Chains A and B, each alone.
Chain A
Amino acid sequence: MTAPASSKDRAVSVPAVRGVRWSLASKQAAFGVAIIVPTLGILAIFRFLPMVQALYLSLTEYDLVHPPKFAGLANFASLLQDPLFLKSARVSLMYVLFSVVPVIPLSLGLAALFNRPLWLRNVLRSAVFMPVVMPAVVMAVVWTFMYQQDGVVNTILSWFGVDPVPWLRSSATSLWAVILIGIWRATPYYMVIFLAGLQAIPADYYDAAQMDGAGTWATFWHITLPLLRPTLLLVIVMNVIVAMKVFAVPLIMTGGGPADSTRVLPLFIYQTAFEFFDMGRAAAMSVFLFVAVMLFSFVQVRLFTRQDDNR
């Protein structure tokens, strides 16, 4: 009975007798495993099993009534020729692109403004943070009201001489209306993360820069931004994943319309599965969504780490 590889084990106290040491170490390890088992079990059943099943279902035809019928890649083939699916994928892509790109400079800029002495700093920060507090469904209801033809948004725009915009009623503007409130809600969220990142940068760097006479921009460009790169990467990845999942807001505000202009992929998956009961097809769409999420995270991480290598 030899001791297992516990020489590295700093968590183990060291009693004199080897036999006792073995049993203590294994007892502790057993406890360590036991307390992580519930987590692993729940994640296995409710995260990993559904993922595997999604892959399987995507290869079948299944309407909840008849047993699943193997269909090979038929779902994928027909999706790629389905104009509704292609349109939905395009809408999702537009949503992700135009709700993520403005949020990054906006949230970083706000964080930079808050990361300095400021009159009423905490009050302002709480005020700017408020959109994060509003539940998504409430946000959809309130903004639907504000976007009405004679609603408050158009009234305020009219002060600046802008003609009333048919926000949710026209397929030309509906997606932009949804994107705008996505930005409204995401910006303060990522601002908080950027602010934490900014505050983690040691003040010495700024003092040194100031000694050297670097201006505000030079300091930001050469000190803040490079040191903030890990946070920046994380915010972009998170933001894209969150944007790819948007669901409640388009469902409640427009139901995907008018003329499919706001039917993002998650909404289309939901409708295919739970309104048309085409589970196999919905699962195939989920696989597309999954691949998009994975691909994007991967490419992002690669891009950013390669930049690090070059430095």
Chain B
Amino acid sequence: MTNATGTVGPRAPAKRPAGSWRTLRKRQGSIVAFIVLAGVACVTLLPFYWMASSSLRTMETMFSLPIQWIPDPPNWKAYVLAWKAQDFSRYLLNSGFVAVAITLSNLLLCSLAGYSLTKFRYRGRGVMFLLILSTMMLPLEVTMVPLFLIIKKLEWANTYQGLIVPFLVDGFGVFLMRQYMLSIPNDIIDSARIDGASELRIFWMIVLPLCKPALVALAVFTFREAWDMYIWPLIIITKDSLRTLPLGISLFMSSYGTSWDQLMAIAVIGTLPMILLFFFLQRAFIQGIAATGLKE
């Protein structure tokens, strides 16, 4: 890394003649970039294509050579069989409910906390912010054993609240909302106060609407994480009626390990909500992740 630290050294004199030669080089660069990226896209998309096409294959043609890229004829039976094998509609509902509940509460609590950290002054504010930030360095894998004991003591194992309550708020979300709210001018809030608006009303009617881009990004980010959650439900859920989709899929994998057509059908069903979310909220999706790269 040492060679990267040097300041910009004496510049080489311009060697290449400007004009058509340079534009040609530029165009060449674009073509190379396009080819490289198209190749990368093939690698990133192959598992999606393979998952979807295999869900429509029969078991007899699953591994046939040469590769049958397009299943002919498409066979939809795997979806019906898999859907019936386990209570997937219930798992889907559970996952949806848990993810929506976690997302909504994060939107509310993270923006309240962010508002408090940016627009109010009180003793200990800096310490509180540091404490909240430090939870980002505390992976669930470190605390899962005692957290499980706490949930057991609360008798929340095998309950929705056990799945939801520990994740009602998240350090990253607070950080994101705080960073965004720093850009909201204090004058707006002050003048609303002079007009006699209550604090709660100011938050709800003025601050929240101004934070819409950050809220959408946070919502998509949180929903994705909650939908993806695996280790925690695995620990506290044993009742079938409370299983989330990832639990259902892994259970299905362990009991129907080689019924690849049905496994891929279930995999498609588990991915579809995220793909839909991505296509409708593409910008927010990408912004939510770009926001994890925000720096102080």
Contacts and interface: CB of A to CB of B under 8 A. Distances in A.
Nearest to A35: B112
A132 B30 CA distance: 26
B292 A151 contact: no
Given A130-B45, A184-B44, A195-B290, A118 B34 contact: yes
A133 B279 CA distance: 10
Contacts of B295: 230-231, 234
B1 A118 contact: no
Task: Identify whether the interface residues of A are mostly helix, strand, loop, or mixed.
Answer: helix
Given A28-B120, A42-B165, A245-B141, A134 B47 contact: yes
Interface of B: 1, 3-9, 11-16, 29-30, 33-34, 36-38, 40-41, 43-48, 50-51, 54, 63, 65, 67, 109-110, 112-113, 115-117, 119-122, 128, 131-132, 135, 137-150, 165-169, 171, 174, 186, 189-190, 193-194, 199-200, 203, 224, 227-228, 230-231, 234-235, 245-246, 249-250, 253, 260, 263-264, 266-267, 270-271, 274-275, 278, 282, 285-286, 289-290, 292-293, 295
Contacts of A244: 139, 141
Contacts of B286: 129, 192
A145 B265 CA distance: 12
Contact of A135 (B38, B189, B228): B228
Interface string A137-155: 1111111111010111001
26 contacts: A13-B190, A28-B199, A33-B116, A35-B112, A39-B174, A116-B33, A128-B37, A129-B278, A131-B44, A135-B245, A135-B271, A137-B270, A138-B270, A141-B250, A148-B63, A192-B286, A196-B293, A197-B293, A213-B13, A214-B12, A216-B29, A222-B6, A251-B250, A270-B234, A273-B145, A289-B139
A135 B9 CA distance: 46
Contact of B122 (A33, A114, A189, A245): A33
Contacts of A49: 146, 150
A119 B34 contact: yes
Given A11-B186, A119-B34, A247-B230, A311 B113 contact: no
Interface in A197-252: 197, 212-216, 218, 221-223, 225-226, 230-231, 234-235, 238, 241, 244-245, 247-248, 251-252
Given A32-B115, A32-B121, A39-B109, 5 more contacts: A53-B149, A113-B33, A213-B14, A270-B234, A289-B142
B41 A127 contact: yes
A-B complex: 7 closest residue pairs judged by Cβ atoms: A32-B120, A213-B14, A193-B293, A53-B146, A196-B290, A50-B143, A127-B41
Q: Which of B38, B186, B267 has the largest number of chain A CB atoms within 10 A?
A: B267
Nearest to B116: A36
Interface in A262-311: 265-266, 269-270, 273-274, 279, 282-283, 286-287, 289-290, 293-294, 297, 307, 310-311
Contact of B4 (A196, A197, A226): A226
A32 B119 CA distance: 8
A297 B270 CA distance: 34
A148 B285 CA distance: 33
A293 B142 contact: yes
Contacts of B41: 124, 127-128
Contacts of B9: 222
